[in-house]
Amino acid sequence: MKKILLSVMVFALVSGCSSAKKNETPTSNEQTGSGSTEKVESSAMDFSPKGSDSGSIEGLQTVRFEYDKATLTDDEQKKLNANAEWMKKNADTKMLIEGHCDQRGSIEYNLSLGERRANSVKQMLQKMGIPADRLTTTSYGKEKLLATGDAEEEMAQNRRANFVPSKK
């Protein structure tokens, strides 16, 4: 009797777990300011602990810096503008801005440069309308390299500001 009961329980458990779920993005209708409705994605957002460096957070990009600079080129400024728009659409998130450097220079110098980079990005985001209380910064200097080679293309990957979102 115990074997039959155990077999029935295992069968019920296995058959209950085998039902396939549809891979659909949940949506809801929200009313806009003009009174019309608009479909809005309501699925959970992917918050990779690697932030924008992971490439898995749609709409959020790492920005890169030139050697020994804490200012952005025009192309990188466009990426930052897109990140600001992402933050405006995701008003329930906070953002950690990580400043990173390539492997040249001392630990102390690179920590300082990474801090200047992160703070520069924070100030630019504030000018774009992102409240300061949603932004925090840190510097990793040369401690979290994405590429370890000595070629300029590899070192350029490390001179960056990475964006790590979290829920408020």
Taking the chain (168 residues) in consecutive chunks of 10 residues, what is each chunk's mean pLDDT? 50 46 43 49 67 94 98 98 97 97 97 98 98 98 96 97 94
Examine residue 50 and state whether it is found in any structural domain, yes or no. no
3-state secondary structure of 94: strand
* Residue 46 within any structural domain of the chain: no
Q: Does residue 83 belong to any structural domain of this protein?
A: yes
> Distance between CA atoms of 59 and 82, rounded to whole angstroms?
7
**pLDDT at 48 (0 to 100):** 87
Structural domain includes residue 26? no
Do the domain assignments include residue 147? yes
- Is residue 149 assigned to a domain? yes
Spatial separation of the C-alpha atoms in residues 149 and 141, rounded to whole Å: 16
Domain with 82 in it: what CATH number? 3.30.1330.60
Residue 2 tokens read as: 């115990």
Give the predicted TM-score (pTM) of the model. Answer: 0.74
**What pLDDT does 34 receive?**
52
For residue 165, the Cα-to-chain-centroid distance in whole angstroms is 5
Total structural domains within the chain: 1
Q: Does residue 73 form part of some domain?
A: yes
| Distance separating alpha carbons of residues 2 and 141, to the nearest angstrom | 63
Cβ contacts of residue 27 below 8 Å, gap of 6+?
A: 39, 40, 41, 42
SS3 assignment, position 131? coil
Given this model, what pLDDT does residue 61 score? 97
| CA 8/CA 12 separation, integer angstroms | 6
| Kind of pairing between the strands at 63-64 and 27-31 | unpaired
Instruction: Note the pLDDT of residue 17.
Output: 44
Provide the domain limits for residue 162: 62-168
Instruction: Judge whether 71 lies within some domain.
Output: yes
